[in-house]
Amino acid sequence: MDMNRMVQTDLRDFLAECEAAGELKTVGGAHWNKEMGAVCEVLYREKVDKSPALMFDNIPGYPKGFRTIYGMLGSPFRLALSLGMETGETHNRMEMLNAYRTKMRSHAPIPPRVVNSGPVTENIDRDGDVDVLKFPVPIHHELDGGRYIGTACGVVIRDPDTGRVNVGTYRVMVIDGKRCASYISNGKQGRIYRDKYFAAGKPCPVAIIVGIDPATYMAARYTLSDKVAEYDWAGGLCGRPVDVVEGELTGLPFPARSEIVLEGEISPTEKALEGPFGEWTGYYAGDAQEEPVIHVKRVYYRNDPILTCAASQKPPHSHLFERCFIRSAALIDSLEGAGVPDVKGVWVHQAGSGRTFVSIAIKQRYFGHANQVGIVASQVNPVGYCGRYIVVVDDDIDPTDIHDVIWAMGTRSDPQKDFNVLTHCWSSRLDTMVFDQNLYNSRVVINACIPYEHIKDFPKVAMTSPELAAEVRGKFPDVFA
């Protein structure tokens, strides 16, 4: 699979390619109050990752051209496009993942390039002129506690100790035209950096990219170590520096070709009720709680700006495919970094909301290999946060095929011997099974591999051989047309 296509750092160039391929549909007249999110959910529930990205325009109460986009990377084609893959070869998830992994073996971070201006500085609202509700900020789900401007976004915070700039996807709710509130889960890099400012009694400078380009969004969604900054990673993916503008107030960098950016500071003392919000679990998990207030003092935006949106719902939904792909790649990185041998495939399943059900295929090499892989996977990024079920299978099982995985569980595992329960693991208030302030969960590693001592004498699989399958396909082409 070719990985030499241009990676777009401009959302509009990316969407133009999507539209040319029939992967973008414009919807006129949907209301910001629940309708856009509902249209998106109903479509993706019917067509899943075969759905187009949805561009909403002519939104009641807003000028034509002030738009929202859902499902930016929600199909194999659009994800491949964002990664620089050939888009005609996206039918096989493991082939996509392996092609991406091959490219990333030669990935070298490239620092961003600071420029004086860009399309995002076409309009700048300052201080008293700031009104984030000039954009068609949606209520994404029927029971959301407010309008969420930050969903498919990048929250930019600098570590006051090291100077490292983090770009992470954290939800941002609008309080009023000049104030927002954001929930960041415990243990996330942005939360750690923010709380350093608070511990010193200082406000935390912040920039929030709420109209984000595909390359930066990929970086913000990826789980990176403190050694690699997100803009550097995005530059390495693109093969060239990401052009960034530094904010007037904070000096924080944001991509020059962003659609909309909010700049301000997070108060160490002032809080407001945030939530609930339909989250990645498929529930309104975590309820509403007091979160620090963000005072927005600058808004940068392009002419006819596009607000990028991601509404999580009960699976499947419009940004689940890209989430599962990115996390699957990150998990392989983590396993290889931990020195675990012979991992042949990984998939973080959509039905597990992109976190709670993971399958890992290995070539067994020694007694205890399967259990080792599962235990390591249960604690490293991205599964370490809110994981639940980790299933380890042999390399004749396709880890992306839920039928294959469950078949292996039902025929190669013994619940009494092959289920290893771990307790006091890293969780969050978004976890539906956390009922107090002790943010722990438990998880189980399921060894669904053939018992190592019976690899040579285990019953043979009843399945047509690849050779015979190819023969009958050639002999009876009408059947397989």
For residues 103 and 209, what is the distance between their CA atoms, to the nearest angstrom? 27
Location of structure tokens 């040579």: 456
Do residues 258 and 248 touch, judged by C-beta distance below 8 A? no
- Mean pLDDT in consecutive groups of 10 residues from the start of the chain, 481 residues: 69 95 96 95 88 96 97 91 76 83 84 97 97 97 95 96 95 97 91 96 98 94 85 92 97 98 98 92 85 98 97 80 87 91 93 90 96 95 89 96 95 95 89 83 95 95 93 93 84
Which pLDDT score is estimated for 89?
A: 62
- Answer yes or no: 95 catalytic: no
Specify whether the backbone of 428 is left (phi greater than 0), alpha (psi in -120 to 50) or beta: beta
How crowded is residue 256: how many other Cβ atoms within 10 Å of its Cβ? 23
Which pLDDT score is estimated for 1?
A: 46
Active-site residue, from 230, 265, 274, 279: 279
Do residues 450 and 394 touch, judged by C-beta distance below 8 A? yes
- R_g of the chain computed on alpha carbons: 23
Do residues 423 and 444 touch, judged by C-beta distance below 8 A? no
Which pLDDT score is estimated for 106?
A: 80
The number of CA neighbours under 13 Å toward the Cβ of 241 is: 11
Domains along the chain with CATH numbers: 11-309 (2.30.110.10), 320-454 (3.40.1670.10)
Which two tokens mark 268? 């160490």
Which pLDDT score is estimated for 93?
A: 84
How crowded is residue 474: how many other Cβ atoms within 10 Å of its Cβ? 9
Contacts of 40 (CB under 8 A, 6+ apart): 54, 70, 71, 311, 317, 318
Which pLDDT score is estimated for 350?
A: 86
Which pLDDT score is estimated for 4?
A: 57
Which pLDDT score is estimated for 88?
A: 66
Which pLDDT score is estimated for 451?
A: 96
Q: What is the 3-state secondary structure (H, E, C) of the chain?
A: CCCCCCCCCCHHHHHHHHHHCCCEEEEECCCCECHHHHHHHHHHHHHHHHCCEEEEECCCCCCCCCEEEECCCCCHHHHHHHHCCCCCCCCCHHHHHHHHHHHHCCCCCCCCEECCCCHHHHEEEEHHHCCHHHCCCCECCCCCCCCEEECCCEEEEECCCCCCEEEECCEEEEEECCEEEEECCCCCHHHHHHHHHHHCCCCEEEEEECCCCHHHHHHHHCCCCCCCCHHHHHHHHHCCCCEEEECCCCCCEEECCCCEEEEEEEEEEEEEEECCCCCCCCCCCCCCEEEEEEEEEEEEECCCCEEEECCCCCCCCCCHHHHHHHHHHHHHHHHHHCCCCCEEEEEECHHHCCCCEEEEEECCCCCCHHHHHHHHHHHCCCCCCCCCEEEEEECCCCCCCHHHHHHHHHHHCCHHHHEEEEEEEECCCCCCCCCCCCCEEEEEEEECCCCHHHCCCCCCCCCCCHHHHHHHHHHCCCCCC
Question: Which residues share a beta bridge with 440?
Answer: 426
Which pLDDT score is estimated for 7?
A: 82
Do residues 8 and 81 touch, judged by C-beta distance below 8 A? yes
